[in-house]
């Protein structure tokens, strides 16, 4: 009996080693896919976007007296310099629409999206003279495409001039008057969209931003302000951030919902596989011992191989079909291998009922628990406790000394 257990333990350990190698291979393939294809996604679709409020400024000449040393004596002279003055931003009205469009490359899904942006800003010329004001909009990402870029100043269309990640327009603003600057565009990005007030703690006056999403699984990045109001729509959410006078170093942002990643998920399932096989071997060993069914260690070897076939097939199917379809096909193949094999070794009833249901529980359902992030550990724990309870009830009156006693020849 002990030699039989030792042989089964060796088979279990060898299969565990194969699973660890398979899991490591999956994570290496995933990292290569991320490093090799991630840049292609950014170049073809766009990078994470962070929009900043526009600025308005003008230049005015200022005479300044400077001292210089000439022929051993100090000489004062007056120079004329151009000084940049910034107009204060008095109000912001912003509309943002986000449309999620996941894209798959290799073993990874990328949370790409389309964004429509429209902002209306009010700047006041606080000087005593009319000024030629330059309105500058910093574009949210260098690696992005901006379609239908429109700028208006006091309702009149302005020709945007681009350069070094910005677009600007110039208009004359009378002294003491408010200029309404409007900017709108369509673009696309990756993973997240943010609206930043500035690098440091910034004061924001009369600010309203309304964001409409076509997805329900909303999430906010770290150091992001929560909306003050939200309303459920047919497809997603309408979120509103409104502040009369805000002083904050945080920003507004939306993190795009992520899909289950085929590569990392298959790798995690492979690393978990030894627990699955342990429960299956443990239950099969108990049942065959109680029923006096003879299973040779070579039988356990083929059962372990059938379990390993599930993870091996899953690892290479996820490259070509969806993770759910790959999981279904791999499960069906592995269960078929086990049931059809034990049908020949033991019989159809034990193969289909005891072994088949055990594999369905410990391989299929336990592995499927990884599809529900945050609940995997709880599902495994509940399954382990239920298994322990069932086995304890089945073996409560068993005299183990008789089962493990050396056989008489």
Same domain? 23 vs 49: no
- In this structure, is residue 328 part of a structural domain? yes
Sheet holding 161-163, edge to edge: 73-86, 55-70, 131-138, 166-173, 161-163
**pLDDT at position 43:** 65
Q: Which of 84, 96, 145, 87 is nearest to 120 (CA)?
A: 96
Are 250 and 270 members of one domain? no
Residue at token pair 């997805």? 215
Residues 330 and 363 in one domain: yes
The enclosing domain of 131 has a CATH number of 2.60.40.3680
pLDDT at 66: 67
Structure token digits, residue 145: 């495409």
User: Residue 262's closest CA among 364, 371, 365, 363?
Assistant: 371
Please report whether residue 322 resides in a domain.
yes
Which pair of structure tokens corresponds to residue 287? 């049942």
Is 235 a member of any domain? yes
Q: Are residues 93 and 120 in the same domain?
A: yes
- Residue 403 confidence (pLDDT): 62
Q: Do residue 220 and residue 233 come from a single domain?
A: yes
Structural domain contains residue 200: yes
Q: Does 229 share its domain with 278?
A: no
**Is there a domain that residue 65 lies in?**
no
Does residue 185 sit in the same domain as residue 222? yes
Residues 223 and 92 in one domain: yes
In a domain, 182, yes or no: yes
**Pair (376, 294) in one structural domain:** yes
CA dist 338 → 190, 238, 311, 326, 358 (Å): 44, 51, 14, 19, 11
Domain boundary among 202, 231, 255: 255
101 and 184 in a single domain? The answer is yes
How far apart (Å, rounded) are the C-alpha atoms in residues 241 and 362?
A: 48
Range of the domain at 270: 2-36+260-403
pLDDT tens digits, the chain, 409 residues: what are they?
667 888 888 998 999 999 999 888 888 888 776 666 666 677 667 789 999 999 999 988 776 766 767 666 777 766 667 788 889 999 999 999 999 988 887 778 888 999 999 999 999 998 888 889 999 999 988 778 888 899 999 999 888 887 778 888 999 999 989 999 999 999 999 889 999 987 776 788 999 999 999 999 889 988 888 999 999 999 999 999 999 988 888 899 999 998 888 888 888 899 889 988 998 998 888 888 888 888 889 999 999 999 999 999 998 888 888 888 999 999 999 999 999 999 999 989 999 998 999 999 889 988 888 888 777 778 778 888 888 888 888 787 777 776 666 655 4
Alpha carbons 173 and 137: distance in angstroms, whole number: 18
Structural domain contains residue 147 = yes
> What is the pLDDT at residue 213?
94
User: What is the DSSP pairing of strand 108-124 with strand 49-51?
Assistant: unpaired
Q: Are 337 and 309 in contact (CB under 8 A)?
A: yes
Round to whole Å and give the CA distance between 323 and 93. 42
- Would you state the pLDDT for residue 229? 93
Q: Are 121 and 201 in contact (CB under 8 A)?
A: no
Tell which residue, 145, 176, 169, 166, has the closest CA to residue 42: 145
User: Is 244 in the same domain as 281?
Assistant: no
Evaluate whether 260 touches 323 at the Cβ level (below 8 Å). Answer: yes
Total domains in the fold of the chain: 2
Residues 357-384 as b/e (b if ≥16 CB within 10 A, e otherwise) read ebbebbbbebbbbbeeeeebeeebeebe
Q: Which of 219, 239, 255 is the last residue of a domain?
A: 255
Q: Is 215 helix (H, G, I), strand (E, B) or coil?
A: coil
Final residue of a structural domain among 190, 225, 255:
255
236/98 same-domain check: yes
Running DSSP on this structure, what letter comes out for residue 360?
I
Residue 300 lies in a domain: yes
């Amino acid at each position: 009996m002990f030699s039989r257990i030792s042989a089964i333990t060796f088979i279990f350990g060898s299969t565990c080693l194969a699973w660890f190698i398979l899991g490591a291979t999956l994570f290496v393939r995933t990292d290569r896919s991320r490093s090799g294809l991630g840049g292609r996604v950014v170049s073809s679709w766009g990078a994470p976007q962070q929009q900043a409020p526009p600025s308005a400024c003008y230049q005015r000449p200022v005479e300044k007296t400077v001292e210089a040393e000439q022929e051993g004596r100090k000489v004062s002279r007056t120079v004329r310099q151009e000084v940049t003055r910034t107009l204060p931003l008095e109000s912001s009205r912003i509309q943002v629409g986000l449309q999620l469009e996941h894209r798959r490359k290799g073993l990874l899904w990328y949370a790409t999206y389309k964004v429509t942006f429209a902002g209306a800003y009010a700047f006041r010329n606080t000087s005593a003279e009319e000024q030629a004001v330059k309105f500058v909009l910093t574009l949210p990402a260098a690696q992005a495409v901006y379609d239908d870029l429109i700028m208006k100043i006091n309702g009149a269309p302005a020709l945007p001039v681009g350069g070094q990640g910005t677009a600007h327009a110039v208009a004359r603003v009378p002294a003491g008057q408010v200029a309404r600057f409007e900017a709108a565009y369509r673009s696309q990005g990756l993973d997240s969209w943010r609206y930043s007030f500035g690098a440091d703690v910034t004061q924001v006056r009369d600010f309203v931003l309304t964001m409409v999403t076509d997805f329900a699984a909303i999430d906010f990045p770290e150091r992001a302000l929560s909306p003050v109001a939200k309303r459920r729509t047919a497809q997603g959410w309408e979120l509103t951030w409104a502040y009369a006078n805000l002083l904050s170093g945080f920003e507004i942002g939306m993190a795009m919902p992520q899909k289950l990643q085929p590569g990392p998920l298959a790798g995690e399932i492979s690393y978990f596989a030894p627990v699955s096989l342990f429960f299956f071997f443990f239950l099969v060993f108990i049942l065959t011992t109680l029923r006096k069914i003879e299973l040779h260690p070579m039988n356990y070897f083929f059962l372990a191989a059938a379990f390993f076939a599930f993870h091996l097939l899953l690892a290479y199917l996820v490259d070509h079909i969806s993770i759910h379809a790959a999981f279904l096909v791999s499960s069906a193949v592995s269960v078929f291998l086990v049931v059809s094999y034990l049908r020949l070794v033991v019989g159809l009833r034990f193969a289909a009922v005891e072994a088949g249901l055990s594999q369905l529980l410990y391989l299929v359902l336990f592995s499927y628990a990884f599809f529900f992030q945050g609940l995997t550990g709880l599902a495994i724990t509940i399954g382990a406790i239920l298994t322990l309870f069932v086995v304890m009830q089945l073996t409560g009156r068993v005299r183990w000394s008789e089962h493990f006693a050396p056989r008489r020849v």
